[in-house]
Amino acid sequence: SFINFLKLLWHYGLNPLRMSMWVEDILDKFMRIYRYQMHDYAFSSNERLLHALGGNDFTRLLNQTIDEAMQKAGFSQKFINEVVCPAMRVNYAGLPSRVVGFLGFLAGAVSLAGVQSGLWSVKGGNKLVCSGLIYSSKAEVIPATVVITKLFSAGDPVKLYQVTYNTSSGLTGDTYDIVLIAAPLGHRMANINFQNFDPPIPEFPNPYHQTVTTLVHGRLNASFFGYQDPQAFHLGAIFTTNNPKLFFNSLGMVSPVGDIGVAGKLPLQSAIWKVFSKEVLTKEQLNLLFSSYDSVKVKPWLAYPEYSAPEKFPPIVLHEHLYYLNGLERAASAMEMSAIAARNAALLAFHRWHGHSASVDQEDLHEKLKTEL
């Protein structure tokens, strides 16, 4: 590691150190949200939420590509191209990404840069986090397509929503005081219909970006990666720069939960590799990457919003007591962001229902909470 450190200094000067300080500063500010939410503060728009965390510096980041923001912060183009872009391409295949889309990457970068022990995963799959949360919230789950109708009741100040569920066993429904939407409302995404709203609930045209995950059990083709002698090939992960000729974004060995020893294993032996790409890999492409393989699993998915700067957030409040969580995904897309957006919406719905305006959209919370201690 000492020699690696010297090489890093030789190639990139102080950029790597500056980067960890830069990342730390952004993360420090970002993590203020946990204190705000612990004290029950909520924000009525995603812009206000970001502003409360990092002020104009943060909202300005929204208008810049990562290139622009990092150049302005004094990072060298070489460092951006060779270190930042490859790391971004692991999680966010599309460049130029907006910097706050960068926050999601930061979490990854922090764990990438740190020791492997900083990473964790759930035995049985990280998807168990979602079913576990549903279970512990004691929610009733109705799998259905949904129509949300605003109910008119002349002279009645109480706003009610009719939610109609089209389930496999037919139509059911109920009326609600408050409705929270926790699914992306983009074109052909959540497929929720709104009726009777005037003005109508807007369409959010932002498309989601497709990432293809391919899991391959096989041996990497060392010569494709420029190694004449396969025995000399010891890499457990391969990142790429922003080269349009490349057909994959990143490649990394996957190890089972609890098996921390596998990272040191010689990757020439058969292993499970995770390949990220924009398109589904062809047989020819797989035959270039792998000298042999015996099983392939392909999963194309709409992983995160297509980022493009500058751009506006969708609103959180769609109608009086109708809330939308996924707008915050346009800042960064991660399970953690969804949890933050959900808690904010729950607090906001509660405060607005009870008229607690002092807990909504407070400025200078950071200073206020400091002096409270």
Ligand X SMILES: *[C@@H]1O[C@H](CO)[C@@H](O)[C@H](O)[C@H]1NC(C)=O
For residues 79 and 101, which CB has a smaller minimum distance to ligand X in the complex? 101
Cα–Cα–Cα angle for 120, 126, 130, rounded to 5 degrees: 130
Options 38, 119, 310, 364; binder of ligand X; rule CB under 6 A: 310
Please state the closest distance from residue 373 (CB atom) to ligand X, in A: 30
Task: Look at residues 69, 26, 66, 70 and name the one whose alpha carbon lies nearest to residue 50.
Answer: 26
Helix (H) or strand (E) holding 179: strand 179-181
Segment contacting ligand X by CB under 6 A, of 5-13, 78-86, 207-215, 219-227 = 219-227
For residues 134 and 171, which CB has a smaller minimum distance to ligand X in the complex? 171
Q: Provide, for the chain, the percentages of residues in helix, strand and coil under a 3-state DSSP scheme, each rounded to the nearest 5.
A: 40, 25, 35
Residue 42 carries which DSSP code? Answer: B
Any contact of residue 51 with ligand X (CB under 6 A)?
no
Tell me the residue type at 307: Y
Please state the closest distance from residue 168 (CB atom) to ligand X, in A: 8
Q: Are 362 and 368 in contact (CB under 8 A)?
A: yes
Please state the closest distance from residue 303 (CB atom) to ligand X, in A: 25
* Interface mask toward ligand X for 150-179; x: CB under 6 A: ----------------x----x--------
d(CA 225, CA 80): 22
Please state the closest distance from residue 292 (CB atom) to ligand X, in A: 7
First and final C-alpha spacing in the chain: 42
**# binding residues, ligand X (CB under 6 A):** 12
Please state the closest distance from residue 262 (CB atom) to ligand X, in A: 24
Sign of the alpha-carbon torsion through 2, 8, 9, 10: positive
Segment contacting ligand X by CB under 6 A, of 98-106, 118-126, 202-210, 218-226 = 218-226
For residues 135 and 224, which CB has a smaller minimum distance to ligand X in the complex? 224
Please state the closest distance from residue 147 (CB atom) to ligand X, in A: 7
Of 264-303, which residues contact ligand X (CB under 6 A)? 287-288, 291
Instruction: Enter the tokens of residue 32.
Output: 């203020």
Please state the closest distance from residue 64 (CB atom) to ligand X, in A: 9
Q: Are 360 and 348 in contact (CB under 8 A)?
A: yes
Strand partners, 160: 151
For residues 226 and 355, which CB has a smaller minimum distance to ligand X in the complex? 226
d(CA 196, CA 202): 13
Task: Look at residues 27, 38, 20 and name the one whose alpha carbon lies nearest to residue 334.
Answer: 27
How many CB atoms are closer than 10 A to CB 129?
12
Provide DSSP, 351-365.
Answer: HHHHT-GGGBS-SSH
Sole residue written with tokens 């909202």? 59
Segment contacting ligand X by CB under 6 A, of 58-66, 123-131, 250-258, 323-331 = 58-66
Of 111-150, which residues contact ligand X (CB under 6 A)? none
Which 3 state secondary structure label does DSSP give 166? Answer: strand
* Interface mask toward ligand X for 60-99; x: CB under 6 A: x--x------------------------------------
Please state the closest distance from residue 252 (CB atom) to ligand X, in A: 19
* Interface mask toward ligand X for 223-262; x: CB under 6 A: xx--------------------------------------
Options 59, 71, 240, 308; binder of ligand X; rule CB under 6 A: 59
Alpha helices, DSSP H, located in the chain: 2-12, 15-30, 32-38, 46-61, 66-72, 77-79, 85-91, 101-113, 128-137, 283-289, 335-354, 365-372
Binding footprint of ligand X on the chain (CB under 6 A)? 59-60, 63, 166, 171, 221, 223-224, 287-288, 291, 310
